[in-house]
Amino acid sequence: MRVLVTGGAGFIGSHVVAALTAAGHESVVLDALLPSAHPGATAPEVPGARLVVGDVRDREAVAGALAGVDAVCHQAAMVGLGKDFADAPLYVGCNDLGTAVLLAEMAAAGVRDLVLAGSMVVYGEGRYDCPRHGTVRPGPRAEAGLRAGSFEPHCPDCGAELVPGLVSEDAPADPRNVYAATKLAQEHLAAAWARATGGRAVSLRYHNVYGPGMPRDTPYAGVASFFRSALARGEAPRVYEDGRQRRDFVHVRDVAAADVVALEAVRERRPASFTAYNTGSGEPHTIGEMATALAAAHGGPEPVVTGEYRLGDVRHVTADSRRLREELGWRPGVGFAEGMAEFARAGLRGAGAAQVEGAAPQPVGAEAP
């Protein structure tokens, strides 16, 4: 099949293209090569695909890239938390207006199959159980508590300590920042498109993706890249809070494989359907464990736990990815120790540009993807 991979020059998209090629499919890439994702870089190579430099918000560029395409794998998005709220229009433009334009052009071109790069950020805080009240939904953590070093969310009814659990796809959405809101809106748009056109849509809600080709530490990057960039500068990874925040770190090659199985399966779905799948390794780890594993594989320096925090970060969120395993037969293949050892030595995208610009070390947060 021929697949349009939007954002195919990016971190995950380029691995999706490689996996599609390996599975005998053809890819066309539409990517605007955003400076935030490709700092100071010359046009990247996307081996195995035709690269169309263009924006998903541009109807003509999208229509041209869709010619002869059987399915779309929509990876293009602004990622990360951004600098501040002033970035909101850019996030909403790229992620939601861009998705709307893409879906409208798919409708016009009769392309009915979509796999969307979703995200665990749609859930906000993960699942928690109170010993007395069962499953509860703690709100955002108050700054006073964070300042005092009290990082765990408490039961909203009785204040008891909560036990974190695995979030399933049926958990209610609770986006906590602009990026999260745009990722949720992408899903709603995809579901509305499917209903209106008889299309079939799958959203893979990726957990924290890491691996070779991850962008360097910009305000738009994830925590693994901050740690990896610090180590490359010979500095200790700075771990926020107490380092016990739980996440699910899933390797980028496993995510790319999930995209391929989803693209192959989506056309068998019933028309006018939308299904979300958590996409995680199923092996939760703490942010501190990740910093330690990366530092050890890199040969030091040891991470420092700073007690700093960022408002809007969630404490724990870990996925239950059973649905993806059971319905699509996907299995993650890269274990935590093995993946982190490889990542500690792998190149980061745009790493050279950091030195040229003399970029200051960025704060290390624990943002969900």
* Cβ at position 149, least distance to ligand NAD in Å: 27
Q: Which is nearer to ligand NAD, 41 or 341 (CB)?
A: 41
Q: Which residues contact 365 (CB under 8 A, 6 or more apart)?
A: 81, 223, 226, 240, 310, 313
> How far apart are CB 114 and ligand NAD at their closest, in Å?
13
Q: Nearest 5°: CA angle at 12, between 231 and 205?
A: 105
- Copy the structure tokens of residue 97: 């207006």
Under the binding rule (CB under 6 A), the answer on residue 202 touching ligand NAD is no
Decide if 220 is catalytic.
no
Give the contacts of 267 (CB within 8 A, at least 6 positions apart).
Answer: 70, 71, 112, 113, 200
Binding-site member from 128, 151, 193, 206 for ligand NAD (CB under 6 A): 206
Choosing from 94, 262, 340, 364, the residue that interacts with ligand NAD (CB under 6 A) is: 94
In the structure encoding, which two tokens stand for residue 151, read together?
A: 């990082």
Does residue 6 contact residue 323 with C-beta atoms inside 8 Å?
A: no
Nearer to ligand NAD, 43 or 163 (CB): 43
Residue 128, SS3 per DSSP: strand
Distance CA 136, CA 338 (A): 35
Q: Is 56 in the site for ligand NAD (CB under 6 A)?
A: yes
Q: Which does 280 bind (CB under 5 to 8 A by kind): ligand NAD, Zn ion, none?
A: none
Looking at beta carbons only, is 7 or 199 nearer to ligand NAD?
Answer: 7
**231-260 residues near Zn ion, rule: CB under 5 A:** none
Cβ(332)–Cβ(207) below 8 Å: no
Between CA 24 and CA 199 the distance in angstroms is: 24
Interface residue with Zn ion, options 37, 72, 76, 130 (CB under 5 A): 130
Task: Let me know: does 266 contact 202? Beta carbons within 8 Å.
Answer: yes
31 binds ligand NAD per the rule CB under 6 A: yes
Dist CA 162 CA 150 (whole Å): 13
Residues in the chain: 369
For the record, the structure tokens of 368 come out as 């969900």
Distance CA 78, CA 93 (A): 9
Contacting residue, 12, 102, 171, 262, with ligand NAD by CB under 6 A: 12
- In the list ligand NAD, Zn ion, none, the entry touching 212 (Cβ below 5 to 8 angstroms by class) is none
Tell me the one-letter amino acid at 321. Answer: S
Smallest distance from the beta carbon of 115 to ligand NAD, in angstroms?
A: 11
Burial class (CB in 10 A: 0-12, 13-18, 19+), 271: exposed
Least distance (Å) between residue 156 CB and Zn ion: 8
Among candidate residues 91, 179, 206, 240, the one labeled active-site is 179
Tell me which stretch binds ligand NAD (CB under 6 A): 50-58, 103-111, 189-197, 327-335: 50-58
- Residue 76 site contact among Zn ion, ligand NAD, none (CB < 5 to 8 Å, cut-off depends on kind): ligand NAD
Please state, in angstroms and rounded to a whole number, the distance separating the CA atoms of residues 225 and 211: 9
From the list 76-84, 99-107, 168-176, 266-274, the region that binds ligand NAD by CB under 6 A is: 76-84
Indicate the residue among 199 and 222 with the shorter CB distance to ligand NAD. 222
Per the DSSP assignment, residues forming a β-bridge with 285 are: 247
* Among Zn ion, ligand NAD, none, partner that 133 touches (CB below 5 to 8 angstroms by kind): Zn ion
User: Which residues are catalytically annotated?
Assistant: 179
Binding site for ligand NAD (CB under 6 A): 6-7, 9-13, 31-34, 37-38, 55-57, 75-79, 94, 98, 117, 119, 183, 206, 208-209, 215, 222, 369
Binding site for Zn ion (CB under 5 A): 130, 132-133, 155, 157-158, 160
